[in-house]
């Protein structure tokens, strides 16, 4: 799997870096989660009306719930999601997360919490997909951190970002340790937090951030 892969190229920089730390056996399932999340983010961003976004999200929810045998050909995210086996329907929790972002503006803490919980549930599902059931709760925590920290830097309104920062501050400060197949989630949560604390995208891709990713992803520290 290389940067030439269109799905990898579609990921935000932090997600691309985190994917590097997924061992070969975990890369396709992890890529499926990250690529679906990136696609849904783009869908929300490009929808001019909440109703339109909800209709598009409904297509993804219904498609994911169906048997992979019925999935349309030529959709690379669904093709990659086949790596989730009989747990593919669990990826609907990401759709639920992004649907929370269609709530009326300004977004309240309930919508933000639902978003973080949805990402957490998707990460917990990934733990089960990868045979790491003992890490399910830790993966859920990492997903919540990823969600809350992401909102704190991505939302467009200052009051929304401030509220999301408060939510992020309620998450555990210490990143839980996980088995090697899930360390990409730990990198993702850690670098997303660094991006907020540094106040810039560059902070998440700086030499210091790369070193932190090495510690989180390769050494598990």
Per-residue pLDDT of the chain (221 residues; tens, 9 = 90+): 455 699 999 999 899 999 999 999 999 999 999 999 999 999 999 998 999 999 999 999 999 999 999 999 899 999 999 999 999 999 999 999 999 999 999 999 999 999 999 999 999 999 999 999 999 999 999 999 999 999 999 999 999 999 999 999 999 999 999 999 999 999 999 999 988 887 765 555 566 656 666 667 666 55
Task: State the Cα–Cα distance between residues 99 and 29, nearest whole angstrom.
Answer: 22
3-state secondary structure 40-51: HHHHHHHCCCHH
| The pLDDT of residue 170 | 97
| The pLDDT of residue 204 | 54
| The pLDDT of residue 211 | 62
Residue 12 contacts by C-beta under 8 Å, 6 or more apart in sequence? 38
Backbone region of residue 85 per phi and psi (left: phi > 0; alpha: psi in -120 to 50; beta: other values) = left
Are 100 and 155 in contact, with CB atoms under 8 Å apart?
no
Dihedral Cα 215, 144, 118, 188, nearest 10 deg: -20
DSSP 150-164: HHHHH-SSHHHHHHH
| The pLDDT of residue 61 | 97
Exposed/middle/buried for 128, CB within 10 Å: 0-12, 13-18, 19+?
Answer: middle
Quick one: how far is CA 164 from the chain centroid? Answer: 16
Task: State the Cα–Cα distance between residues 144 and 114, nearest whole angstrom.
Answer: 10
| The pLDDT of residue 39 | 97
Smallest Cα–Cα separation from 155: which of 211, 116, 213, 121?
116
């Amino acid at each position: 799997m290389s940067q030439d892969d269109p799905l990898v190229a579609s990921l935000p920089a932090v997600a691309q870096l985190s994917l590097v730390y997924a061992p070969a056996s975990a890369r396709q399932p992890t890529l499926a989660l990250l690529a679906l999340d990136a696609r849904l983010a783009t869908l929300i961003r490009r929808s001019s009306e909440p109703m339109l976004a909800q209709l598009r999200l409904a297509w993804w929810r219904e498609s994911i719930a169906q048997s992979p045998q019925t999935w349309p050909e030529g959709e690379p995210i669904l093709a990659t999601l086949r790596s989730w086996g009989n747990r593919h329907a669990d990826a609907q929790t990401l759709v639920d997360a992004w649907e929370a972002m269609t709530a009326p503006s300004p977004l309240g803490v309930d919508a933000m919490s639902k978003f973080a919980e949805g990402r957490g549930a998707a990460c917990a599902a990934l733990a089960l997909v990868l045979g790491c059931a003992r890490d399910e709760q830790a993966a859920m925590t990492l997903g919540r951190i990823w969600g809350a920290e992401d909102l704190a830097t991505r939302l467009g309104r200052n009051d929304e970002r401030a509220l999301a920062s408060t939510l992020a501050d309620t998450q555990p400060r210490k990143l839980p340790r996980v088995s090697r197949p899930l360390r990409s989630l730990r990198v993702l949560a850690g670098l997303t937090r660094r991006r907020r604390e540094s106040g810039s995208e560059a902070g998440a891709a700086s030499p210091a951030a790369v070193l932190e990713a090495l510690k989180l992803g390769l050494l598990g520290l």
